[in-house]
Amino acid sequence: MRRSLRAMVITSTVAAVAFGSLLGTPAHAAGNKIVIWTDKDRATAVQYLFPNGYKGIPVEVVVKNFEDIRASVSQVTADAAPDVVFGANDWVGELAANGKIVKLNLADRAKLALDAGAVSAFNYRGGQYGVPVATENIALITNASLVPTQPKTFDELSKMALALKKSGKATVALDVQQGAGGDAYHMYPLFSGLGGYIFGKTASGAYNTNDIGVFNKTFAANAKLIDEWNRTGLISSKVDADIAKSTFLAGKAPFWITGPWNLSDIKDPAKSKVTKYRITAVPPIVAGQQPVPFIGAQGVMLTSFAAGHGVESAARSLVSEYMATEKAQYQLSALNDRYPANKAAALRVQNPQLKAFGAAGAGGIPIPNIPQMNSVWGPLGSAWVASTKGPGAIPAAKAFAQAQAAIKKALAAG
């Protein structure tokens, strides 16, 4: 299905999408169009959903760099602003707080049709500020040629990986990207598998920023395992994104913690020597703590500019009604290789790799969408770097205790 949809829309949409992108964001005349901002990876799929506009109003898709959309929405002038944006759930707190996106009234039937975790990822201070259309997460990809039998525990994985490295069949034991700046996102399955968490929650389900779990009692008791991983060379902060990718594609790493965005390279024989692989969750590290990844929910949000453009009613319906449907999300998934948030659409996914990533994300934690998360990424990533840099590493207990203290200080400073 995915190939046929691509064939149908590529030629008919590229010109239209490119036209909107080259012009920037054209000025609105009241009620004359609904402008959607999205990135190049989703543009063709989004354009396909609205060949004849929506509710009698033309829909224009404008291409932006994904990471630029959040900042651009906050800075754009009203006449050049979008009515709808595709973006990530962790943008919600900032955009809602500065009034750039508006609260939605998501019908009960729509909520029930969608993955509950993905819906909650777009909830901020009790308000629903977006409709999730897809989820993505990292998983463990195993080179099945090097590892015929999948390890059931992290201890088994460690022994297999280190034996392959010692024999010379692998140059990296476990590919998980860090680099000088750290990478708390990619390290999160290991962090959660040791009992770590970012923020607790209140009785109402809101994030409790006074409850910081970076160095909670459970994690503190398990932190010595990180010291062992560093001592044996299982994990090294010297492995950055480029090293992780190149060693795995060269067949020189048995395991890689990464996301679906690297599947196309793994499957490309011109780039990859890996001919057999498996996609699974990271196996248990300690009893009672299942490693889970962050879940990145992608969705669609209604901007506060739509009212001034005279299209709020139609744009609101597009976001909160149409984009929640099985039809829209299945077509979007088929063209974009992301796991749909609509549960019925998810059941129709045929891509085995995509299904495997979905299974590996079971129980995952939505990336916190509150502005305070900006105070977490740096210290948490730095703690991993400091404790896994080989000779000269500081004990993990000290590194993560320092990270927790730094986060508390940053939050107190506002």
Q: Which domains, ranges and CATH numbers included, belong to the chain?
A: 2-136+295-360 (3.40.190.10), 139-292+370-413 (3.40.190.10)
Q: What is the pLDDT of residues 258-302, one digit of tens each?
A: 998 899 899 999 999 999 999 999 999 999 999 999 998 999 999
Tokens of 239: 């492995």
Between 335 and 283, whose confidence is greater?
A: 283
The neighbour count for residue 144, using CB atoms within 10 Å, is 15
- Higher-pLDDT residue of 14, 272: 272
Position 125 scores a pLDDT of 87
Task: Give the pLDDT confidence score for residue 29 in this predicted structure.
Answer: 58
Let me know: does 63 contact 346? Beta carbons within 8 Å.
no
pLDDT at 2 over 70: no
Of 285, 279, 296, 310, residue with least CA distance to 218 = 285
Angle, to 10 degrees, between the axis of helix 2-22 and the axis of helix 326-336? 90
Dist CA 358 CA 352 (whole Å): 10
CB proximity list for 348: less than 8 A, separation 6 or greater = 326, 330
Alpha helix positions (H), 210-283: 217-222, 224-232, 241-249, 263-266
Residue 338: band (very low, low, confident or very high) from pLDDT cuts 50, 70, 90? confident
Contacts of residue 116, Cβ cutoff 8 Å, sequence gap at least 6? none
pLDDT at 336: 80
State yes or no: pLDDT of 3 exceeds 60: no
Cα distance between residue 259 and residue 155, in whole Å: 23
pLDDT for res 337: 77
Distance CA 404, CA 79 (A): 44
Q: How far from each other are the two terminal CA atoms of the chain, in whole angstroms?
A: 49
Q: Which residue has the tokens 């080989």?
A: 390
Over the stretch 218-256, which tens digit does the pLDDT of each residue have? 999 999 999 999 999 999 999 999 999 999 999 999 999
State the Cα torsion 76-78-80-86 to the nearest 10°.
70
How much is the average pLDDT of 54-60? 96
Q: Does 197 have pLDDT greater than 80?
A: yes
Q: Give the global pTM.
A: 0.82
Which has more confidence, 353 or 21?
A: 353
pLDDT of residue 15 exceeding 50 = no
φ, ψ of residue 324 to 5 degrees: the values are: -85, -10
Instruction: Note the pLDDT tens digit of each residue in 166-175.
Output: 999 999 999 9
Residue by residue, DSSP assigns 111-132 as: HHHB-HHHHHHTEETTEE--EE
